[in-house]
């Protein structure tokens, strides 16, 4: 664990040269990747930032913005002399950070994976504000919900009581300011105009069960990064690839990295 100025950085497999920078979703902590770390760290150097406001080691922190987190992560790598890495990976909110980093091009990557990534709305500001209020209200309800109530909100065949207890603990740790900033920033972060095209292969992955919910994001990425490869994963929902199917996730991610680097 490395305490940077704005973010706590967790690292694994530091003996390896190929680095994967991984960004977690909203509503969970960095340790959501615990299912895939043991496999990936055997071959890759994993750098996993704990985003402000979602950091159990810094409970007093508050979420900043997608732009700030993308900038800070790039700055950290550049200061270490890691201007080029093997892969940028982010899920949901983390996918938004990857999208922003691809546009900024402050660091180089052999490839990037946006897993159900959130993209900015192209709507009038008053409407985006109302959507933000709606999202804030929904998560504030979840923040104060009982375990029993949260249990009814998730698929019992996929998530255990321990999983629900984890979600409740994370929700309870988030301040109302973090909830507002995270939702609003994820839905409205800025992109440079015109948007530079990524100089590396990009995948946008999404679960079959979330295809409808991700329609806006898929359309945005198709328009913004037209060379992106879209991968629909059968039978999966949002953010389930590295939690419920860790072996397949590691195989797919490693395979994409090797293909991008020209390694057989």
In whole angstroms, what is the distance from residue 68 CA to residue 211 CA? 29
- The overall pTM is greater than 0.75: yes
Q: Which pLDDT score is estimated for 149?
A: 67
Domain boundaries, the chain: 2-120+190-261
Element (H, E) at 11: strand 8-12
Question: What is the DSSP annotation of 124-171?
Answer: -HHHHHHHHHHHHHHHHHHHT--HHHHHHHS-TTT--HHHHHHHHHHH
Q: pLDDT tens, 154-196? A: 677 777 888 888 888 898 899 999 999 998 998 999 999 999 9
pLDDT surpasses 90 at 30: yes
The fold of 2-120+190-261 is Rossmann fold (3.40.50)
In whole angstroms, what is the distance from residue 202 CA to residue 119 CA? 15
Of the candidate ranges 38-47, 102-111, 139-148, 152-161, the one whose mean pLDDT is the lowest: 139-148
Picking from 76, 94, 72, the residue whose alpha carbon sits closest to that of residue 85 is: 76
Q: pLDDT tens, 130-156? A: 877 777 777 777 766 676 766 676 677
For the chain, the straight-line distance linking the first and the last C-alpha, in angstroms and rounded, comes to 33
């Amino acid at each position: 664990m490395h305490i940077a100025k704005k973010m706590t950085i967790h690292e694994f497999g530091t003996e390896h040269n190929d680095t994967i920078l991984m960004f977690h979703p909203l509503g969970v902590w960095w340790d959501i990747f615990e299912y895939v770390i043991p496999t990936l760290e055997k071959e890759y150097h994993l750098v996993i930032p704990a985003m402000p406001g979602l950091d159990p080691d810094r409970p007093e922190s508050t979420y900043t913005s997608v732009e700030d987190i993308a900038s800070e992560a790039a700055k950290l790598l550049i200061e270490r002399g890691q201007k080029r890495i093997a892969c940028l990976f982010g899920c949901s909110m983390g996918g938004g950070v990857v999208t922003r980093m691809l546009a900024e091009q402050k660091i180089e990557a052999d490839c990037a994976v946006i897993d159900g990534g959130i993209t900015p709305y192209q709507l009038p500001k008053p409407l985006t504000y109302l959507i933000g209020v709606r999202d804030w209200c929904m998560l504030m309800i979840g923040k104060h919900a009982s375990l029993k109530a949260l249990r009814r909100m998730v698929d019992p065949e996929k998530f255990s009581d321990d999983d629900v207890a984890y979600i409740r603990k994370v929700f309870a740790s988030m301040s109302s300011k973090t909830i507002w900033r995270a939702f609003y920033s994820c839905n409205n972060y800025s992109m440079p105009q015109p948007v530079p095209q990524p100089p590396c292969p990009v995948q946008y992955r999404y679960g079959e069960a979330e295809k409808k919910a991700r329609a806006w994001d898929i359309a945005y990425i198709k328009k913004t990064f037209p060379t992106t490869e879209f991968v629909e994963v059968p039978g999966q929902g949002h953010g389930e690839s590295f939690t419920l199917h860790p072996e397949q996730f590691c195989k797919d991610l490693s395979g994409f990295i090797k293909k991008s680097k020209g390694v057989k």
